[in-house]
Amino acid sequence: MSKLQSSIASHRFGCSNQQVSVIGQGTWMLEDSAPTAVAALQRGIDLGLTHIDTAEMYGSGAAERLVGMAIKGRRQQVFLVSKVLPGNASRRNTLQACEDSLQRLGTDYLDCYLLHWRGRIKLTETLGAFESLQQQGKIRSYGVSNFDVDDLDEVLSIVGPGKLACNQVLYHVQERAIEHEVIPWCQRNDVAVVAYSPLGHGNFPARSGKGGNVLEQLAAKYAVTSYQIALAFVCRLPELFAIPKSLNPAHVAANAAAAALQLAAEDIAAIDQAFPRGVKPRSLPTI
Ligand SMILES: NC(=O)c1ccc[n+]([C@@H]2O[C@H](COP(=O)([O-])OP(=O)(O)OC[C@H]3O[C@@H](n4cnc5c(N)ncnc54)[C@H](OP(=O)(O)O)[C@@H]3O)[C@@H](O)[C@H]2O)c1
């Protein structure tokens, strides 16, 4: 098992057997602020936010180029994840999409490669390409994103146990649908759950609301911010990881510090009550 250099909490990333920082860094919509974005990502890596999430979709490759700049000369320090678009997920096009991502990122391997969401192309095509890429050493592990349990069952029936490293899904205090079935499925099958938009994609609970007020009270109790409390809640189980995005160095530092925050059971229960999980929706929520 390799351990990435990290000064913050790390957990085993599903069956990949890699130790990965519990809190990482997202890169969606970074490309509009290029120099700031590179500096923020580098600051995050310095602080141990070494799990970097990107995708060929983000800025049509621009985000991957920025990540490439940020990790130049320090590739070994990061756990690098990118994603293939469903429209590119045929066997042949997945192989090409991965080559293109590697080139933009300035590296010769990804730590994990994901199918961004399920499209019309058969999973056997995409997963076959992932297997080939893994055998060639171009990806160290693979996973999926936005997959509900029926799709996860199908992946398992194709690749068998011990192959799928993660499922990256929408998860934050105000959106807890994955707690019904997706998290238990992943726990049973040794699959890491990566929470995307863990701070609500800019729609954070208002202080004046009931839930926001509970977060504020807990922030005062732990002498942190309500955003840090929200991240600690999202990462409260060993199978859970989060990839908040920030262009602000102070926020990046706060996100790194949140990895060390352990909420008491009574405080997790208070958040649980303040942001009810609700009934299981018909389909998995996405952003
Ligand atoms: N697989 C998928 O389909 C999918 C979908 C969506 C997202 N993602 C991934 O998940 C990543 C994160 O999600 P996201 O970008 O949607 O949103 P997010 O991380 O939930 O929220 C980002 C917002 O939170 C603010 N923020 C971050 N840290 C903060 C802190 N400590 N205190 C206060 N504000 C803070 C940021 O502003 P500042 O810049 O000012 O800090 C930004 O406005 C994406 O970048 C992407 O990599 C994946």
Q: Is residue 209 a part of any domain in this protein?
A: no
Q: Which range of residues forms the domain containing residue 158?
A: 10-204+230-262
Q: Is residue 275 a part of any domain in this protein?
A: no
Q: Rounded to the nearest 10 degrees, how much is the dihedral formed by the CA atoms of 97, 28, 254, 79?
A: 0
Q: How many domains does the chain have?
A: 1
Q: Is residue 223 a part of any domain in this protein?
A: no
- 3-class state of residue 114 by DSSP: strand
Q: In this structure, are residues 108 and 142 in contact, taking their beta carbons and an 8 Å threshold? A: no
Angle among Cα 31, 23, 247 to the nearest 5 degrees reads 30
Cα 138 from Cα 142, distance rounded (Å): 11
Q: Which amino acid is at 162?
A: G
Q: Is residue 56 a part of any domain in this protein?
A: yes
Q: Is residue 242 a part of any domain in this protein?
A: yes
User: Which residue among 47, 171, 196 is best mutated to probe the pocket of ligand 1, counting the most ligand atoms within 8 A of its Cβ?
Assistant: 196
Helix (H) or strand (E) holding 103: helix 91-105
Q: Is residue 2 a part of any domain in this protein?
A: no
Q: Is residue 269 a part of any domain in this protein?
A: no
Q: Is residue 282 a part of any domain in this protein?
A: no
Helix, strand, coil shares of the chain as percentages rounded to 5?
A: 45, 15, 40
The whole-model pTM stands at 0.97
Residues lining ligand 1, judged by CB closer than 6 Å? Answer: 26-28, 53, 116, 145-146, 168, 196-202, 225, 227, 243-248, 251, 254-255, 287
Pairing, β 19-21 against β 10-12: antiparallel
What pLDDT tens digit does each residue of the chain (287 aa) get? 344 444 689 999 999 999 999 999 999 999 888 899 999 999 999 999 999 999 999 999 999 999 999 999 999 999 999 999 999 999 999 999 999 999 999 999 999 999 999 999 999 999 999 999 999 999 999 999 999 999 999 999 999 999 999 999 999 999 999 999 999 999 999 999 999 999 999 999 999 888 999 999 999 999 999 999 999 999 999 999 999 999 999 999 999 999 999 999 999 999 999 999 999 999 999 99
Atom index in ligand 1 nearest the CA of residue 258 equals 31
CA of 242 to the centre of ligand 1 (A): 10
Read off the CATH number of the domain in which 151 is found: 3.20.20.100
